[in-house]
Amino acid sequence: MTADELQTLIEDATADYALGETEVALAKLARATAAAPDSFEAWHAQAEIHFSLRRLDAALAAAEHAHRLRPADLFINTTLSRIWMERGDKARAEHFGAQAKIASWKDQLKKPAPPAPPAP
């Protein structure tokens, strides 16, 4: 599967999910992760869909796979925090929430500062 085909498959799955076709979306994402096991986007999308369906074990498995691929990613850390909170593990939820905040701060530091206003 080419990178473009993979991206199209993930986008199609996302559209299917938005239209309420969750099982079709999950089937496409399963194809994506089988063809490209290093696709962070496919694993993260799979985690989010499972989470929305309250399939917490499947959500956690997909999120952990995505996290192994990009441990410093803001969004996967947020997803893991939400999953652990739903599972009742506040300590783990807070850990991943803190990791998400750190990632957010790092992103903010990468952005150039706005120009100073002109002197009066």
What is the percent of the chain where pLDDT is above 70?
99
- pLDDT attached to residue 73: 92
Average pLDDT, the chain: 92
pTM to 2 decimal places: 0.83
pLDDT greater at residue 112 or residue 20: 20
What lies within 8 Å, CB to CB, of 69 at 6+ separation is: 38, 40, 43
Residue type, 68: R
Closest CA to 36 of 79, 3, 11: 3
Closest alpha carbon to 103 in 82, 81, 72: 72
Residue 116: what pLDDT? Answer: 74
Reference 40, options 6, 84, 16, 87; nearest CA is: 6
Q: Which domains, and CATH codes, for the chain?
A: 3-109 (1.25.40.10)
pLDDT digits (tens, 9 = 90+) for 1-60: 899 999 999 999 999 999 999 999 999 999 999 999 999 999 999 999 999 999 999 999
When computed from its CA atoms, the radius of gyration of the chain, rounded to whole angstroms, is 17
Confidence of residue 113 (pLDDT cuts 50, 70, 90): low
